[in-house]
Chains A and B, each alone.
Chain A
């Protein structure tokens, strides 16, 4: 048995508090945990709100990548792409920023932005690299936390928040409407249209359109829209009309609008406008469709109204004020006999006349018209254009028209009196014009022209013509040689000195009052001329007999033609040759020098003359000459008396010619030929050749004589000479008195001369030769002209010969 022993106690000291043993290191995991939780909470808080958008398809949308943007700022990310329950659409779940989600209204619009290339430009280019994104558009609305949306296929025409007016356009077909087509107002883009859609009734197309503020103020109830797509060519009554819009409009179509008439009220949203094919139609529509309080009138026409149709304009002084409503015919038996009259009912727009569009206007217009009709206002048909067959009704004031009144009835519209139209028949006039053109002898003209050209060509191609320039060139060379000779060069100096001396003489003469004397002498000469003129008149009378005389002479010439003139001409030619040789001789060439010297002598004489009192003598001489002229006048008067006997003279001449006809001319010609031959021999003889030398010698002698004259008492001699001249003038005076008999002799001489001249008349060989010579000269001149032109064009040809 052992003593119970208390159990050994394991006594431990009081356990230290677990907190006291705790290491400070535990703070680190606590801090890490706190930070991690903070990050987790933050990312959860920033995760954003989830929304769901339903799309038709999810082209290009990638979960986790495709962003949502609002005003081009990322607001979220697509989380997942799933199908709707029935697989009919795609449901896209996205997280968007809380700040956006708080204000997201249920009408927010979402659409997928893709790269798009269209006629209006390229959009969404940034999405080519970054992929598509979803654009959101909404008007922020505090507290509206919508989460389910239906996405759009295309970008909306009007983004929420844009200001403007939404309207509806109605068109007969959608060909001119394409989605996104611009709307222009006076050339600037102010809006766009949306995708057009068919009306439920199927007979038209409507499209929503949006006009941006502030341009939407221009849209009123009186605005008209028209299509500007493409280009529009219209050949109408007003002529050719081509209108082209902008290039974008050309490709994509476009719509323009304008307010055609004043007035009009602001339009409410979704107001429906009609879309017209072109601007003209749109402007005209104001009259054709919207005359609310139109004043109806009736016009009756007697004539045909072909070309007039419903809708045709009614103009007043050129301004369109209305339109034709309807046309009809009725039988008019007022005047006893039945006639078919045509009746056109027209509407007049009060606004076009500047009146308010209300019921009061009608009465005003009726009053105005009835007053105007009394002043001559009438309706008549007029052509709409130059080539148009279309007619319109024109209201014109014709003061001289027959009196008429506006027919006002209770039941029918007032009847406006009409007058006959003056529509020109353009077609007939044009036809006449063409007929005239057709009748022109164009073919003959062309043939003539061709023949002329051919002649010119053959003439130009003549070898002789081409040879002419060379000959002319040689001629010019010789002429240059002649002109270049020293004597010829010296001539001008001498002449100049002579002229100077002569001028001094003339001055002396002027001082001496010679001119007055000369004038007196000229007066006398004038009187003489008058007398001669009267003589000529007499001669004219006498010439009436001349034709017969000419006949006779022609006979004579015929005989003369029969003579052997050729031989004679040969001789004459030989004579000319001899003369040519003579002229070419050295002695002849030396002549200029001699002449030169003689002129010098003459100058000396003139100077001496001036030194002496030659002038006074001359004056007295002139006086004598004047007296002589007076005598001549008297003679001419006598002559006038004598010419009265000219007819008798002509008779005598005729007889003479007859006698001459009988003469043995052949023998005469032979003798003449012999004479010419003799002359030829003479000219050809040495003596004749020596003649120039003799002439030279003679000139020398003359010169020496002149020198002697100078040395001797020339002046005295001259004085004596002048005295003799005066005596001679007196003698002339006397002689003139005996002129009548002289004139008779002259007459006979003239007769003979005429006879001779007849030989040179028409068709004579001489004439032909002369003509041919003249032609050659002409052709030569033309060739020269041509040469000159070619040289002018191409001066080098002188050097190169071409």
Chain B
């Protein structure tokens, strides 16, 4: 990533008439098709970036619906099978008094994905100038989404570990439900969505705003 800097006015590569490599950071003069250092295709701005962001975001949203409606875990205990959805699990945990665990599950499985959806959507909108936002705040938001994305997989990990460990036939067994796959897909889609975002757009919009003024 480019150094965000602290000065209110930042000279971007585009404004300088140069093209930066997104992989190695080398700056080239326009007209060079590929990075002379690492061979990456060079483009001043990825014009299709936002489309990809929106597409992955929608895909993540779509699969997030069954992830919440279908059971996440199918627990068989002494012949009795119980299926629990994500939110149902949280409620059960609260009923059992495990507020801490309930909070963790709630945050990891519901708060973070939902806020990611919102954050990515907001970011994309702000780049398209539908929403006013300073470049610096956009950058912070982008960093947060990038950072938090990997932690959303906690649920999936828990389910995967439990399913592989607790297989005691009749006594107790835990199997993943449809929601586990859906949730994993949802997290993956949102992460791809975040990755698809061309972060250089953040600064362009800011520049544009300043120019209009």
The answer on a CB contact under 8 Å between A28 and B79 is no
Per-position binary interface string of chain A over residues 30-44, scored 1 when its CB falls under 8 Å from any chain B CB and 0 otherwise? 011101100110010
- Residues of chain A within 8 A of B55, CB atoms compared: 23, 25-29
How far apart are the CA atoms of A36 and B181 in the complex, in Å?
11
Selected from A32, A130, A131, the residue in CB contact (under 8 A) with B63 is A32
Selected from B48, B66, B79, B178, the residue in CB contact (under 8 A) with A129 is B79
Closest to A33 in B: B62
Per-position binary interface string of chain A over residues 125-141, scored 1 when its CB falls under 8 Å from any chain B CB and 0 otherwise? 00001110000000000
CB-based closest 4 A-B pairs: A29-B59, A29-B58, A25-B55, A23-B51
The answer on a CB contact under 8 Å between B80 and A29 is no
The answer on a CB contact under 8 Å between A39 and B62 is no
- Residues of chain B within 8 A of A29, CB atoms compared: 55-59, 61-62
**Is B139 close to A, CB under 8 A?**
no
Closest to B69 in A: A40
Selected from A23, A35, A43, A130, the residue in CB contact (under 8 A) with B79 is A130
Most buried by B among A39, A65, A129: A39
**Is A22 close to B, CB under 8 A?**
yes
Smallest CB separation, B29 vs chain A (Å)? 26
How far apart are the CA atoms of A184 and B189 in the complex, in Å?
71
How far apart are the CA atoms of A244 and B55 in the complex, in Å?
84
Per-position binary interface string of chain B over residues 77-96, scored 1 when its CB falls under 8 Å from any chain A CB and 0 otherwise? 01111100000000000000
Smallest CB separation, A713 vs chain B (Å)? 131
How far apart are the CA atoms of A31 and B56 in the complex, in Å?
11
The answer on a CB contact under 8 Å between B189 and A32 is yes
The answer on a CB contact under 8 Å between A36 and B65 is yes
Q: How many residues of chain A are within 8 Å of chain B by beta carbon?
A: 20
Smallest CB separation, B113 vs chain A (Å)? 15
Smallest CB separation, A391 vs chain B (Å)? 70
How far apart are the CA atoms of A27 and B80 in the complex, in Å?
41
Selected from A21, A25, A32, the residue in CB contact (under 8 A) with B62 is A32
A23-B55, A28-B189 given as contacts; is B62 within 8 A of A36 (CB)?
A: yes
Q: Can you name 13 A-B residue pairings with CB atoms under 8 Å?
A: A26-B55, A28-B55, A28-B59, A29-B58, A29-B62, A32-B189, A33-B59, A43-B70, A65-B80, A65-B81, A129-B79, A130-B78, A131-B79
The answer on a CB contact under 8 Å between B66 and A39 is yes
Q: Known pairs A32-B58, A32-B63; list 9 more (Cβ under 8 Å).
A: A23-B51, A28-B56, A28-B59, A29-B62, A31-B59, A36-B63, A36-B182, A39-B178, A129-B79
- Residues of chain A within 8 A of B59, CB atoms compared: 28-29, 31-33
By size class, the interface of chain B is: 20 to 34
Closest to A126 in B: B79
Selected from A25, A31, A33, A35, the residue in CB contact (under 8 A) with B52 is A25
How far apart are the CA atoms of A32 and B52 in the complex, in Å?
15
How far apart are the CA atoms of A35 and B65 in the complex, in Å?
12
Smallest CB separation, A95 vs chain B (Å)? 14
The answer on a CB contact under 8 Å between B178 and A22 is no
The answer on a CB contact under 8 Å between B80 and A131 is yes
Per-position binary interface string of chain B over residues 185-213, scored 1 when its CB falls under 8 Å from any chain A CB and 0 otherwise? 10001000000100000000000000000
- Residues of chain A within 8 A of B178, CB atoms compared: 39
- Residues of chain B within 8 A of A33, CB atoms compared: 58-59, 62
- Residues of chain B within 8 A of A36, CB atoms compared: 62-63, 65-66, 182
The answer on a CB contact under 8 Å between A26 and B189 is no
Smallest CB separation, B26 vs chain A (Å)? 27
How far apart are the CA atoms of A40 and B66 in the complex, in Å?
8
Q: Which of A6-63 contact B (CB under 8 A)?
A: 21-23, 25-29, 31-33, 35-36, 39-40, 43
- Residues of chain A within 8 A of B79, CB atoms compared: 129-131
Per-position binary interface string of chain A over residues 224-266, scored 1 when its CB falls under 8 Å from any chain B CB and 0 otherwise? 0000000000000000000000000000000000000000000
- Residues of chain B within 8 A of A65, CB atoms compared: 80-82
Closest to A22 in B: B51
A32-B63, A36-B63, A36-B65 given as contacts; is B56 within 8 A of A25 (CB)?
A: yes
Smallest CB separation, A131 vs chain B (Å)? 7
- Residues of chain A within 8 A of B82, CB atoms compared: 65
Closest to A131 in B: B80
How far apart are the CA atoms of A25 and B66 in the complex, in Å?
21
Smallest CB separation, B7 vs chain A (Å)? 33
Smallest CB separation, B131 vs chain A (Å)? 22
- Residues of chain B within 8 A of A35, CB atoms compared: 63
- Residues of chain B within 8 A of A28, CB atoms compared: 55-56, 59, 189
Closest to B182 in A: A36
How far apart are the CA atoms of A22 and B52 in the complex, in Å?
9
Q: Which of B118-153 contact A (CB under 8 A)?
A: none
How far apart are the CA atoms of A403 and B82 in the complex, in Å?
97
How far apart are the CA atoms of A43 and B85 in the complex, in Å?
15
How far apart are the CA atoms of A29 and B57 in the complex, in Å?
8
The answer on a CB contact under 8 Å between B65 and A23 is no
Per-position binary interface string of chain B over residues 171-190, scored 1 when its CB falls under 8 Å from any chain A CB and 0 otherwise? 00000001000100100010
Smallest CB separation, A722 vs chain B (Å)? 127
How far apart are the CA atoms of A41 and B144 in the complex, in Å?
37
Smallest CB separation, B178 vs chain A (Å)? 7
- Residues of chain B within 8 A of A130, CB atoms compared: 78-80
Per-position binary interface string of chain A over residues 307-339, scored 1 when its CB falls under 8 Å from any chain B CB and 0 otherwise? 000000000000000000000000000000000
How far apart are the CA atoms of A40 and B79 in the complex, in Å?
27
How far apart are the CA atoms of A169 and B62 in the complex, in Å?
67
The answer on a CB contact under 8 Å between A26 and B51 is yes
How far apart are the CA atoms of A32 and B66 in the complex, in Å?
11
- Residues of chain B within 8 A of A21, CB atoms compared: 48, 51
Q: Which of B24-50 contact A (CB under 8 A)?
A: 48
How far apart are the CA atoms of A28 and B80 in the complex, in Å?
38
- Residues of chain B within 8 A of A32, CB atoms compared: 58-59, 62-63, 185, 189
How far apart are the CA atoms of A28 and B186 in the complex, in Å?
12
Smallest CB separation, B120 vs chain A (Å)? 13
The answer on a CB contact under 8 Å between A25 and B65 is no
- Residues of chain A within 8 A of B185, CB atoms compared: 32
- Residues of chain A within 8 A of B70, CB atoms compared: 39, 43
- Residues of chain A within 8 A of B56, CB atoms compared: 25, 28-29
How far apart are the CA atoms of A22 and B80 in the complex, in Å?
50
Smallest CB separation, B17 vs chain A (Å)? 23
How far apart are the CA atoms of A29 and B62 in the complex, in Å?
7
Most buried by B among A27, A28, A131: A28
Smallest CB separation, B69 vs chain A (Å)? 8
How far apart are the CA atoms of A28 and B57 in the complex, in Å?
10
How far apart are the CA atoms of A36 and B179 in the complex, in Å?
11
How far apart are the CA atoms of A26 and B57 in the complex, in Å?
10
Closest to B178 in A: A39
Smallest CB separation, B24 vs chain A (Å)? 25
How far apart are the CA atoms of A231 and B58 in the complex, in Å?
81
How far apart are the CA atoms of A651 and B59 in the complex, in Å?
169
Closest to A26 in B: B55
How far apart are the CA atoms of A65 and B74 in the complex, in Å?
13
- Residues of chain A within 8 A of B51, CB atoms compared: 21-23, 25-26
How far apart are the CA atoms of A25 and B55 in the complex, in Å?
6
Smallest CB separation, A38 vs chain B (Å)? 10
Smallest CB separation, B176 vs chain A (Å)? 15
Smallest CB separation, A432 vs chain B (Å)? 79
How far apart are the CA atoms of A619 and B59 in the complex, in Å?
160
Closest to A127 in B: B79
The answer on a CB contact under 8 Å between B62 and A129 is no
Smallest CB separation, B156 vs chain A (Å)? 17
Q: Which of A53-80 contact B (CB under 8 A)?
A: 65
How far apart are the CA atoms of A21 and B63 in the complex, in Å?
25
How far apart are the CA atoms of A43 and B177 in the complex, in Å?
13
Smallest CB separation, A24 vs chain B (Å)? 9
Smallest CB separation, A66 vs chain B (Å)? 10
How far apart are the CA atoms of A129 and B76 in the complex, in Å?
12
Most buried by A among B56, B59, B82, B182: B59
How far apart are the CA atoms of A129 and B170 in the complex, in Å?
11
How far apart are the CA atoms of A189 and B178 in the complex, in Å?
51
Most buried by A among B55, B80, B182: B55
- Residues of chain B within 8 A of A39, CB atoms compared: 66, 70, 178
